[in-house]
């Protein structure tokens, strides 16, 4: 088995497969050495989305992949037949294996991670074998489902990081050390996700909107624009979704949620571009 790409995804997959005692090699262009000359049964392309086709072609030219190989890429939004269109018919199978996990160091333990699978029969068979070896949970998807699946992942990970960043700016604005603010709010986020894992949604929802605490929400709306205008706008834009989740939970009076919805609809947050 060959992993192409030494970024966090490639290194995390390498670590997991080595721990599973599977024979696996990692190759990266940055190492300055040629790819293996013998074709691998499975080639995992853990490279940037736009580089998948080029990397696959390089492996075929070098002999690292051949007619008996299965090519799997790790880009969650790209259907295999699109990303690897030029390789169709030249290998045994084309597919996707995408860990639903935020990977930044390459040292993450992938056990228990949901992993999206897509592709032809040969590719899905090999992908399922790898997921089992990694201790992951397979999530088979159709090509038409991939963009929405990956969009949900980006909303949960990348957008949530931006939301956390805005909250950090609020705490920095009132005098907290930035690193302490990041640690405190990251721990808060972790406790929230722990509750989601334990209780599910909407039961895990907490906070003033979940309680129907109109007075506290009003204080938030008054204070946040003074600390950070972007955080105030994010608070207002997300509050209706929180209110709908709170309505599903059923612990807040309906009348209180209506008052909260009316408050957040009165958007008087100043626009910094208007001076």
β-bridge pairing 93-99 and 114-119 = antiparallel
Q: Does residue 274 surpass a pLDDT of 90?
A: no
Name the token pair of 235.
Answer: 């608070």
Name the token pair of 49.
Answer: 């989305």
* Whole-number Å distance between alpha carbons of 197 and 30: 39
Mean pLDDT to the nearest integer, 121-139: 97
* Whole-number Å distance between alpha carbons of 198 and 25: 38
In the chain, % helix, strand, coil (3-state, to 5) comes to 55, 10, 30
Share of the chain above pLDDT 70, in %: 97
* Whole-number Å distance between alpha carbons of 172 and 255: 35
Q: Does residue 32 surpass a pLDDT of 90?
A: no
pLDDT tens for each residue of 186-221: 999 999 999 999 999 999 999 999 999 999 999 999
Mean pLDDT to the nearest integer, 43-51: 95
Q: How far is CA 250 from the centre of its chain?
A: 29
β-bridge pairing 25-27 and 42-45 = unpaired
Mean pLDDT to the nearest integer, 40-66: 96
pLDDT tens for each residue of 168-191: 999 999 999 999 999 999 999 999
pLDDT tens for each residue of 72-113: 999 999 999 999 999 999 999 999 999 999 998 899 999 999
Name the token pair of 214.
Answer: 């109109």
Q: Which residues pair with 99 in a beta bridge?
A: 115
Q: Does residue 269 surpass a pLDDT of 70?
A: no
* Residue 275, pLDDT score: 40
The DSSP letter of residue 95 is E
Tell me which of 104 and 243 has the higher pLDDT. Answer: 243
Is the bond preceding 202 in cis, omega lying within 30 degrees of 0?
A: yes
């Amino acid at each position: 088995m060959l992993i192409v790409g030494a970024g966090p995804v490639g290194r995390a997959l390498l670590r997991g497969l080595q721990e599973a005692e599977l024979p696996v090699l990692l190759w990266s262009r940055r190492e300055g050495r040629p790819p293996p000359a013998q074709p691998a049964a499975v080639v995992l392309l853990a490279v940037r989305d736009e580089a998948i086709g080029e990397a696959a072609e390089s492996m075929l030219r070098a002999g690292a992949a051949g007619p008996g190989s299965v090519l799997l890429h790790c880009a969650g939004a790209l259907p295999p037949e699109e990303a690897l269109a030029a390789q169709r018919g030249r290998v045994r199978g084309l597919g996707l294996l995408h860990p639903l996990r935020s990977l930044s160091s390459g040292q993450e333990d992938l056990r228990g991670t949901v992993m999206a699978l897509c592709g032809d029969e040969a590719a899905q068979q090999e992908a399922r074998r790898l997921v089992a070896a990694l201790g992951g949970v397979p999530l088979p998807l159709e090509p038409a489902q991939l963009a929405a699946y990956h969009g949900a992942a980006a909303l949960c990970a990348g957008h949530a990081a931006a939301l956390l960043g805005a909250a950090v700016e609020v705490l920095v604005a009132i005098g907290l050390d930035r690193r302490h603010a990041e640690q405190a709010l990251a721990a808060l986020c972790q406790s929230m996700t722990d509750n989601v894992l334990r209780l599910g949604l909407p039961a895990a929802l907490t906070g003033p909107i979940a309680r129907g605490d109109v007075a506290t929400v009003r204080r938030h709306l008054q204070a946040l624009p003074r600390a950070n205008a972007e955080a105030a706008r994010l608070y207002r834009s997300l509050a209706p979704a929180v209110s709908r989740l709170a309505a599903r939970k059923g612990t807040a009076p309906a009348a209180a949620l209506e008052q909260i919805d009316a408050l957040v609809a009165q958007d008087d947050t100043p626009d910094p571009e208007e001076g």
